[in-house]
Structure 1
Amino acid sequence: MEAVEWKQRVEKYKGIFTEPPKIVPTDKVVDSPVIGNGDLGVTISGKPEQQRIWISKNDFWKAQLMYSNGSPCLLGGIDVHIPDLANASYYSEQRLDEATIVSTFHGAAASVKMTSWISSLENVLIVELSSEKQAVSVTLDLWVQTGNGSETEQGQDGDTAWAVRKFTGEGIEWPTEGAIAMCSSSGSHSFELQPGTKQYIVASVVTNHDEYNYLQESISRAGLIDEKRIASLRSEHTDWWSGFWAKSAIEIGDELLEKFWYGSHYIMACCSRNKKFAPGLFGNWITTDNPEWAGDYHLNYNYQAPWWGVYSSNHIELSEPYDTPLLEYMVNGRRYAEEYLGCRGIYYDVGIGPKGLPTALCNTPYENGHMFLGQKSNSALSTVNMLMRFYYTYDLEYARFVYPFMIEVANFWEDYLTFEDGRYVIYRDAIHEVGTYTESHDNEDWDRGLEDMNPILSLALIRMLFKGLLDISGQLQLDGDRHEKWTHILEHISDYPTFEREGKTIFRLTEQGHEWWGDNTLAIQHIWPAGGIGLDSDPQLLQIAKDTITVLNRWTDYNGFPTIFTAAARVGYDPETILRELRRQCSEHSFPNLFIFFGGGGIECCSGVPSAINEMLLQSHEQVIKLFPVWPQEKAARFHNLRAVGAFLVSSELSEGKVTYIDLTSEKGRICSILNPWSNGEFSIIEKDGAGDQQREVEWQLSGNIISFNTEAGKSYRLLGH
């Protein structure tokens, strides 16, 4: 795909709104148009005559203990009053290509266009107003959320209005203070919008996590923005988003699925770029002080899931915030492991917050006043993303950064596993919240009653963890003396439990305890995201996996959207079924802003479409690149710069049932292995010179159906069948 082509593809996809949003404010996912720069988030609701701009930010947290006191909170917003638009028609576009909301309101008395965007590089909101028919009166009201133990202030500095909200003082673990400074190009907050002219509203948002003198900084930044500066910011903004969309692209002959593929990446780019503060369950579009489940970082899949699509989509930069809260919580995790379980390593609650904030403390006699919910797997599940990033990039600097976390997880499992009868066994690790237990208000009885043994997800995570540590420690030349133990665990960990259901052998959730959970996709999470089974697995195991998906039949699931479709692709389930059911979910469980919503969370659903489609087009987790491995062969498709394990960027096309080419760029110079897509065995490999003038054939080896060849870091290659 040439640059013009991919830009044209994303330009066609928009969120379209023909009536005002219905569920803002909300404690879950908004249904309104959204924009963001990865830290600052804005959504807009209301009728044409009163547009309400909601402003939130990833670092605006109330850091108070005890569930559900600690959570991200609403900062404030701006109301735009235009009385002449009463009874006007409503139309709004959320434009993905340039991260802009463009709204047009047509009424008998007035027609107004309102264009809103957030600078991709600064926490500044720009709103442009223009009138088509006649002069209209505009009044702006700046406000901040009140209550919930917060302090608020408002004032005026020259032409700039400002408002502050603070969470400080007794009971607050660390202070959060934020300011919004607003001004307009008219110099007033009440003005006449003349036809044929434009007026700008500028809002600068700064918190104490950005700047010590955050209020003064917000006022200063707002005052410096004039039309020349707006033009400069707009140019930088456009360039950033153009560069973002250039990183990867797909064309699959299905505009609905393409729209949600691009839309999911858009949402993640809008909410996940602040390296110090990761987005919570609902991103940076918080419209209440009481988001569901505290809006925190839920570690039994919800927190990890949003990023599962960005690695293979070549948007590694969006995963930068992911590790921060996990590493910040290690002090707590070490203490919990030692005090509560007598183990080394780290033991994490189901929910955590930024800066080491425990969000899952509760006034119960169970589990020492924490919500571990019987699960020992939260920290291991958190290494899934770390290992995805490592294998897709082979970035040794990153590996060295997260290695201490992974070692602590290994320390925990080395101590917690029981070796008996020639195998490693897991006791008292719940597959679900809270597992099977004896009802009792005695802590000792509670612990003894957690009967789940060998939960299937933990068995897969242990395999994933220790294999990953062997690979990473080998690359870093660390802990060679521990390899024997890790290898022994891998060779002797218990098998995945199975049982008979509906006449088929399928996976059982635990070896002892829960055998099945009819309304949840826990039975396939060992496939995805844990990566325990793939197309090269034992055929009998693959059949069990496919039969499990058939019996499960949970394409629509409260929690399962980020897992079921990609798991099905991983094991070669019928691609027509995957695409049909994925399309149905996108149609029936989505908002116009391209959020896919289910009961269990918000931005977690952003991985569902990208990870599933990417795995259908390209698989590589078994160290061999497979082109269109789970795709209807009669259905044309092509993709640009999807990322493969081994730090390869791959582009290819399927046309009339044949792979026409494979373009590949090697970032780390590793050996490349590709499943030969040309049945006649005739092909060539050309090293492409950067200037396009010189090319040379590359030597390759063919072992069975696997093409292997050496690559050089930074070099590009083209494979063609003959």
Structure 2
Amino acid sequence: MEWKSQLEKYKGIFNEPPKQVPSKKVVDGPIIGNGDIGVVLSGPPEQQRVWISKTDFWKSELIYTKGSPSLIGGIDIYIPELSGASYYSEQRLLDAKVVSTFRGAASTVTMTAWVSATDNAVVVELACVEGTATVSLDLWTKSGHDSQTDAGTETDVTWATRVFNGAELEWPTAGAIAMRCLSESSTSFELKPGGITHIISYVLTNHDVDTYLQESVASVKRFDESRLNELYAKHEDWWQHFWAKSAIDIGDELLEKFWYGSHYIMASCSRNKSFPPGLFGSWITTDSPAWAGDYHLNYNFQAPWWGVYSSNHIELSEPYDAPLLEYVPNGKRYAEQYLGKNGIYYDVGIGPKGLPTALSNTEASRKYEHGHLFLGQKSNAAYTTINMLMRFYATYDLQYASQIAYPYALEVADFWESYLAFEDNRYVIYRDAIHEVGTWEESHPNDDWLQEFEDMNPILTLGLLRAVFKGLLDMSNELGLDVNRRDKWSHILMHMSEFPTFERDGKTIFRLTEQGRSWWDSNTLAIQHIWPAGAIGLDSDSQLLEIARNTISVINRWTDYNGFPTIFTAAARVGYDPAIILHQLRHQCLEHSFPNLFIYFGGGGIECCSGVPSAINEMLLQSHEQVIRLFPVWPNERNAQFMTLRAVGAFLVSSELKDGMIQFVEITSERGRVCRLFNPWPDGALSIVEINGNKQEAIDWKLVEDVIVFATKADRHYRLQPTTIASPHFLC
């Protein structure tokens, strides 16, 4: 399987200038980025605007929605000869650059833009193909919003800064953009036929280095043609290494394009380990992004990464943990001060560096939630643990577990051990709203709305707590820690209240709560205990699986304001009809996407980046119950193959389904754990070969209730295939 040829054909195509730049939500223009700097292009050919933002450029003011990521600035490129020119732009996934062609009556100009994958440089190349072009550049920073701006020149370098440093801020933020034209001495010049110039910009903030302006100017000055070529070679190498980590070929170019496109977006915005992207990634084009553009913890912040674990892009999840860990002191204080409990209690929204973004001075918030926006939900911290557990199970990285996942999960467990009520031989959850309660409203005619605070046993929290306490037991066993607490955790798991159900549309389905709100027509809360919480899967009780499938049928929320990251993967997780899943997934990609391959709905932005990858990966490979299943929810008549998807147990798996038969399996074991694979060839013999360099050796295995079980060694490769099928062309 040649992943390069796959990537070459997948691009974002633009035949007209974008319409939603600037935007308070997701932008629709061509996007590039290096995981920290985000660039989006907009405007007609004669005035291209290069918007430059950065994941760490935040205004750290308290009170929702004053604290949020903000725009630094950008560059305007004026070429009057291109007035009325045609517009064509390609956002190329393979090499992460945007190539535009503008054809005017007398001049044709191409513009190529890329953000260095390994440095803080933004590069724009202008080339005149026909005629001449008069170019002038304007470097600018956003003004207003209580910021200070400055600008100047130093020899042939133009610079501009924007600073948030008011007394009302929790911490200052300052950013600089320095710009220089390699082949020109000023910001106004003429391009002749065949002429090429490179506009180099360098972007730093005070969170990178205290001398952010001086370093930006000095970095731009160091650029010459040799340096530029070296930087681009590193850029290409980074992206080639990234794309080589996993691949799919499912015979559906639309879904493949959005599978790769979703990974492109995440790789372009999620690499700053101290400042993960907010709701709309690193493409911020306003000072007032929707919902403060922060880290919403009742699914939005978690969702973007749900596809990267199984796609073998663990590195993209590394920024996720930082704000959660930094918020622990706040969470501990809130739990003790407001509830008299141990552990951590998190607001609906937070920011970086311990910033509370969900404080409110409304009368209702002050009266009912201590001036916060908890919105009646106790489950936010538990929900944030799910991603850490996904990473742990996918890697069995004990250093990550001991330093991050386990200590954090302990804080969550401390809260719930003190909060859960044990009644009638079961654990019960009281006063935990299944959905947000609108405490921001200034007044209420009565307190009927407070019944949402009285929700008992919300189904999502029941699923989340099962995951948290199971994860604690597994990590505790692996790390050899807290043996004395395991009995309590096991007791909670064994006696957790059952998932509530009720009758609707003639079917038994999941109820949102045991007592309180029963249903919500415009939401997918009734299946989030399946995905991402992972409480139900193909090995679950058959009656439970039937209820899960019934619930998905009754919800019928394939098109949903908030549900895209959950509904499709949940359906795959419980074995819903794969033809329906694929049909509906294609429909959403066609009807709810921008040319830049953003899938968008009303609530949130980059959260939708997990929808296609996690759903497709679950259809091709499932392993959450410690047993690898190949093509478990895939139409048997459709050929498909995948390369190095990641399975629970730190296994990298490749396989191919052809003419209704699985041709082979290749597995790399990272940690040397026992491998369990649901037998894909129940009617024939098979062989397993261990590969160590040039050495190959047949190994012993056993079959236990249709599951192939064999021991592995760390960093060894294993090939499984039926003895009745000719050797295939292997993916790895």
Are 1:83 and 1:137, in contact at CA under 8 Å, matched by a contact in 2?
yes
Aligned mates of 2:442, 2:13 — CA distance in 1: 50
Aligned to 1:195: 193
Letter aligned with residue 708 of structure 1: V
Determine if the alignment matches structure 1 residue 319 to structure 2 residue 317.
yes
Structure 2 counterpart of 1:676, from 663, 676, 679: 679
- Larger displacement relative to structure 2 (30-39 or 676-685): 676-685
Which stretch of structure 1 is more off in the superposition, 396-405 or 14-23? 396-405
Secondary structure of 1:132's counterpart equals strand
* Structure 1: runs of 5 or more not aligned: none
Q: Quick one: distance in 1 between partners of 2:320 and 2:159?
A: 32
SS of residue in 1 equivalent to 2:150: strand
Equivalent pair of 2:79/2:134 in contact (CA under 8 Å): yes
Name the CA shift for 1:600/1:437 in 2 (closer, same or farther; >3 Å).
closer
Residue 11 (structure 1) aligned with residue 14 (structure 2): no
State the SS of the aligned residue for 1:170: coil
Q: What is the one-letter code of the residue matched to 2:698?
A: E
Over 3 Å counting, the alpha-carbon distance change for 1:202 and 1:417 in structure 2 is: same
- 1:323 is paired with a residue whose SS is helix
Q: State the Cα distance separating 1:551 from its structure 2 match.
A: 0.6
1:403-482 to structure 2, matched below 5 A, reads 403-434=406-437, 450-482=453-485
Partner of 1:85: 82
Counterpart for residue 707 of structure 1: 708
Correspondence for 1:39: 36
Q: 1:2-39, CA deviations, whole angstroms, 9 ceiling, x for partnerless residues?
A: xxx11111111000000000011000000000000000
- 1:121-174 Cα distance to aligned partner (Å, 9 max, x none): 111000000001122100000000000000000111110010000000210100
**Cα gap change, 1:436 to 1:51, in 2 (>3 Å):** closer
2:642 counterpart of 1:645: no
Q: Which residue matches 2:730? A: none
The answer as to whether partners of 2:202 and 2:216 remain within 8 angstroms in 1 is yes
CA–CA separation in structure 2 for the residues paired with 1:81 and 1:227? 24
Counterpart position of 2:355: 357
Contact preservation (8 Å) 1:438, 1:450: no
AA paired with 2:378? K
Pairing 1:304–2:307 present:
no
Question: Are residues 1:342 and 2:340 paired?
Answer: yes
> 1:247-396 to 2 correspondence within 5 Å?
247-364=245-362, 365=366, 366-396=368-398
Could you tell me whether the CA contact under 8 Å between 2:432 and 2:458 is conserved in 1?
yes
In the TM superposition, residue 445 of structure 1 has moved relative to its aligned partner by 9.9
Q: Is residue 2:585 matched to residue 1:588?
A: no
Residue number among 403, 419, 432 corresponding to 1:401 in the alignment: 403
On the 8 A contact 1:437/1:450 being kept in 2, the answer is no
SS of residue in 2 equivalent to 1:654 = strand
The match for 1:147 among 144, 158, 173 is 144
Provide, for residues 433-490 of structure 1, a one-character-per-residue CA deviation record: whole Å limited to 9, x for no partner: 1189999879999878711000000000110000000000111111110001101100
Q: How many residues align?
A: 717
For 1:687 and 1:449, the matched residues in 2 are separated by 56
Task: State the distance in 2 between where 1:704 and 1:330 align.
Answer: 45
> Which stretch shows the higher mean deviation, 428-437 or 516-525?
428-437
TM norm structure 1: 0.98
- Deviation, 1:689, is 2.8
Partners of 2:628 and 2:678 within 8 A in 1: yes
- Is 1:436–1:449's contact at 8 Å kept on the other side of the alignment? no
Picking from 151, 154, 160, the partner of 1:163 is: 160
Amino acid at match of 1:371: L
Q: Deviations over 1:379-403 (max 9, x none)?
A: 0000000000000000000001222
Q: TM-score, normalised by structure 2?
A: 0.97
Q: 1:483-494 to 2 correspondence within 5 Å?
A: 483-494=486-497
Paired with 1:181 and 1:287, the residues of 2 have a C-alpha distance of: 19
- Report the counterpart of residue 717 of structure 1 in structure 2: 718
**Cα distance between partner residues in 2 of 1:615 and 1:44:** 34
Amino acid at match of 2:707: I
Structure 2 counterpart SS, 1:172: coil
**SS of match in other structure, 1:321:** helix
- Structure 1 segments, 4+ long, off by >6 Å, are 435-449
- Larger deviation, residues 672-681 vs 260-269: 672-681
CA contact (8 A) 1:439 1:446 kept: no
Q: How much has 1:345 moved relative to structure 2?
A: 0.2
Whether the 8 Å contact between 1:438 and 1:446 is mirrored in structure 2 is no
State the alpha-carbon separation in 2 of the partners of residues 70 and 438 from structure 1: 20
Give, in whole Å, the separation in 1 of the partners of 2:654 and 2:11: 25
Q: Would the aligned equivalents of 2:376 and 2:452 in 1 still touch at CA under 8 Å?
A: no
Cα deviation, residue 114, structure 1: 0.2
Deviation at 1:227, TM superposition (A): 1.1
- Whichever residue aligns with residue 426 of structure 2, its letter is R
Partners of 1:386 and 1:191 in 2: CA distance: 52
**Secondary structure at the counterpart of residue 454 of structure 2:** coil
Alpha-carbon separation, structure 1, partners of 2:322 and 2:185: 41
Structure 2 match to 1:236:
234
1:127 matched residue in structure 2: 124
- Please state whether the residue corresponding to 1:475 is helix, strand or coil: helix
Query: Residues 517-536 of structure 1 correspond to what in structure 2 (within 5 A)?
Result: 517-536=520-539
Residue number among 39, 56, 59 corresponding to 1:59 in the alignment: 56
Q: Which residue of 19, 22, 25 corresponds with 2:22?
A: 25
- The percentage of counterpart residues that share the same residue type is 67
Task: Give deviations 1:299-337, integer Å, cap 9, x for gaps.
Answer: 000000000000000000000000000000000000000
Q: Determine the C-alpha separation between the residues in 2 that align with 1:449 and 1:665.
A: 48
Judge conservation of contact 2:451–2:516 (CA < 8 Å) in 1.
no
Indicate the SS of the match to 1:356: coil
1:576 Cα deviation from its structure 2 partner: 0.2
Matching residue of 2:728: none
Query: In structure 2, what residue type is equivalent to 1:115?
Result: T
Aligned partner of 1:626 in structure 2 is: 629
Letter in 2 for 1:61: W
Q: How far apart in 1 are the matches of 2:30 and 2:612?
A: 20
8 Å CA contact 2:115, 2:122 repeated in 1: yes
Offset from partner CA, 1:217-259 (integer Å, 9 cap, x none): 0000011111111100000000000000000000000000000
Tell me the SS of whatever aligns to 1:660. strand
| Residues 43-62 of structure 1, C-alpha deviations (whole Å, 9 max, x = no match) | 00000000000000000000
Task: Check whether the contact 1:435–1:451 (CA below 8 A) recurs between aligned residues.
Answer: no
Cα distance in structure 1, aligned partners of 2:324 and 2:546: 36
Q: Which runs of 5+ in 2 are unaligned?
A: 724-732
Alignment deviations for residues 362-416 of structure 1 (CA, whole Å, 9 cap, x no partner): 0132200100000000000000000000000000000012222110000000011
8 Å contact from structure 2 (residues 373, 439) kept in 1:
no
Indicate the residue corresponding to 1:695 in structure 2: 696
Q: CA deviation at 1:120?
A: 0.4
Q: State the SS of the aligned residue for 2:464.
A: helix
Q: Is the 8 A contact 2:7 2:94 kept in 1?
A: yes
Over the residues paired in the alignment, what is the CA RMSD in angstroms?
A: 1.6
Change (3 A) 1:453 1:593: same
1:61 and 1:443, CA in 2 relative to 1: closer, same or farther beyond 3 A? farther
Shift in Å, 1:197: 2.0
Q: Which letter does structure 2 place at the counterpart of 1:665?
A: T
Residue type of the partner of 1:246?
A
| Partners of 2:434 and 2:512 within 8 A in 1 | yes
Equivalent position of 2:727 in the other structure: none
Deviates more, 1:401-410 or 1:324-333: 401-410
